[in-house]
């Protein structure tokens, strides 16, 4: 007999505005507890020293998390000039200083070099694995960490505000981009020292900070019994995936993992994921359309 999973059958996405100093794992645990959900996961780690958007998947929404890992992201961040640190943010020790303070014109002339597809070396204090160990664990243990350069995509990189000691920016970027590395490389190109002092994520794929809830707001809604109203549908993370409408009999087959025949012509690419939706506009399964059939690969049990 199957072991009954603890918790409530809660399914959907919570758009959390993560507070400062809270790690992503602890944030997920807190939200899972508030909803009493059986399982939970997040789409993209956010450092404890960063605030902002952390999409959290509950229940069957966890099956769509992989589709969010490649999603475009937006950030707001501030560089404070004068010092480089080991971590490229306020947590690290100062390793170099410079009196140089880039002007607005100097910064704006440098920015085009960092737009488009660029090469970037991730920070040594990052979650990338080196020989099976996290880079930040090796760096904290004093071991030499050499990370390879890789290509990342910067869709937008704009200067927003400047003071004598700081410069604030907005960035829209693709997966795998490290804002701390972007700040490090920009400072180096300006013959200056600088590190990130403020970092806030404002968008992940279809999720925007304007849709988010703070932990305090979620706790208050939980006390009033209205926390479920903050859930966004499971299929929200699949907004750019082709949709196949299905009938009730077809839904029954798909729920049992059986392929269904398509009676009408279709134009789905055999290598692209397709989302099957039921008559009640509820996500049923993710799969592929090949040889006139839709074969489910991930079935949503809701």
Indicate if 245 and 263 belong to the same structural domain.
Answer: yes
State the pLDDT at residue 272.
94
Indicate if 92 and 196 belong to the same structural domain.
Answer: yes
Strands 243-245, 283-290: pairing is unpaired
Choose one of 183, 218, 236: the last residue of a domain: 236
Does residue 154 fall inside a structural domain? yes
Are residues 94 and 84 in contact, defined by beta-carbon separation less than 8 angstroms? Answer: yes
CATH number of 294's domain? 2.30.130.10
State the pLDDT at residue 2.
45
Indicate if 183 and 231 belong to the same structural domain.
Answer: no
Does residue 224 fall inside a structural domain? yes
Please indicate whether residue 131 is annotated as part of the active site: no
Indicate if 94 and 110 belong to the same structural domain.
Answer: yes
* Count of domains observed in the chain: 3
How far apart are the C-alpha atoms of 265 and 292, rounded to whole Å?
8
State the pLDDT at residue 143.
63
Does residue 5 fall inside a structural domain? no
State the pLDDT at residue 142.
62
Choose one of 157, 184, 204: the last residue of a domain: 204
DSSP 8-class letter at 9: -
DSSP 8-class letter at 82: T
Does residue 4 fall inside a structural domain? no
Indicate if 30 and 129 belong to the same structural domain.
Answer: no
Indicate if 245 and 229 belong to the same structural domain.
Answer: no
C-alpha 15, offset from chain centre: 11
Indicate if 190 and 122 belong to the same structural domain.
Answer: yes
Q: Is 72 exposed, middle or buried (0-12, 13-18, 19+ CB in 10 A)?
A: middle
Indicate if 152 and 249 belong to the same structural domain.
Answer: no
**Residue 196 — φ and ψ, nearest 5°?**
-80, 125
Does residue 267 fall inside a structural domain? yes
Does residue 146 fall inside a structural domain? yes
Cα distances (angstroms) measured from residue 230 to each of 9, 210, 222, 240, 252: 15, 13, 10, 22, 29
CATH number of 112's domain? 3.30.2350.10
pTM of the entire structure? Answer: 0.90
Choose one of 150, 185, 204: the last residue of a domain: 204
Indicate if 121 and 199 belong to the same structural domain.
Answer: yes
Does residue 270 fall inside a structural domain? yes
Task: Please name the helix (run of DSSP H) or strand (run of DSSP E) that holds residue 222, with its range, or none.
Answer: helix 215-223
Indicate if 94 and 150 belong to the same structural domain.
Answer: yes
Helix axis angle for 24-35 and 215-223, nearest 10°, is 10
Indicate if 94 and 197 belong to the same structural domain.
Answer: yes
Digit-by-digit pLDDT tens for the chain (302 residues) are 344 556 778 999 999 999 999 989 999 999 999 999 999 999 888 888 899 999 999 999 999 999 998 899 999 999 999 999 999 999 899 999 999 999 999 999 999 999 999 999 987 765 566 556 665 565 565 666 677 889 999 999 999 999 999 999 999 999 999 999 999 999 999 999 999 999 999 999 999 999 999 999 999 998 888 888 999 999 999 989 999 999 999 999 999 999 999 987 788 999 999 999 999 899 999 999 998 999 999 999 98
Indicate if 213 and 105 belong to the same structural domain.
Answer: no
Residue 277 structural domain: 241-299
Q: Which of 108, 140, 106, 104 is nearest to 125 (CA)?
A: 140
Does residue 102 fall inside a structural domain? yes
């Amino acid at each position: 007999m199957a072991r009954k999973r603890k918790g409530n059958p809660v399914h959907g996405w919570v758009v959390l505005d993560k507070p400062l100093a809270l790690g992503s794992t602890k944030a997920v645990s807190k939200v899972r507890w508030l909803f009493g959900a059986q399982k939970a996961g997040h789409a993209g780690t956010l450092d404890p020293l960063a605030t902002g958007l952390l999409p959290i998947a509950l229940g069957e929404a966890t099956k769509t998390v992989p589709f969010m890992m490649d999603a475009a992201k937006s950030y707001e961040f501030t560089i404070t000039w004068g010092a480089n640190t080991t971590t490229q943010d306020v947590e690290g020790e100062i390793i170099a200083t410079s009196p140089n303070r880039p002007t607005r014109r100097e910064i704006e002339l440098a920015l085009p070099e960092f737009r488009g597809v660029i090469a970037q070396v991730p920070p040594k204090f990052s979650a990338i694995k080196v020989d099976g160990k996290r880079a930040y664990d090796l760096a904290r243990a004093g071991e030499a960490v050499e990370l390879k350069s890789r290509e990342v995509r910067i869709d937008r990189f704009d200067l927003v505000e400047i003071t004598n000691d700081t410069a604030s920016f907005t960035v829209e970027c693709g997966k795998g981009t490290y804002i701390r590395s972007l700040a490090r490389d920009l400072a180096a190109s300006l013959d200056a020292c600088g590190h990130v002092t403020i970092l806030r994520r404002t968008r992940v794929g279809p999720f925007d900070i304007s849709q988010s809830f703070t932990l305090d707001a979620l706790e208050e809604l939980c006390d009033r019994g209205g926390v479920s109203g903050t859930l966004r549908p499971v299929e929200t993370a699949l907004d750019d995936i082709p949709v196949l409408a299905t009938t009730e009999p077809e839904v029954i087959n798909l729920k049992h993992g059986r392929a269904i025949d398509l009676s009408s012509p279709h134009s789905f690419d055999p290598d692209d994921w397709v989302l099957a939706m039921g008559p009640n506009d509820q996500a049923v399964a993710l799969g592929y359309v090949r040889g006139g059939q839709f074969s489910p690969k991930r079935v949503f049990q809701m």
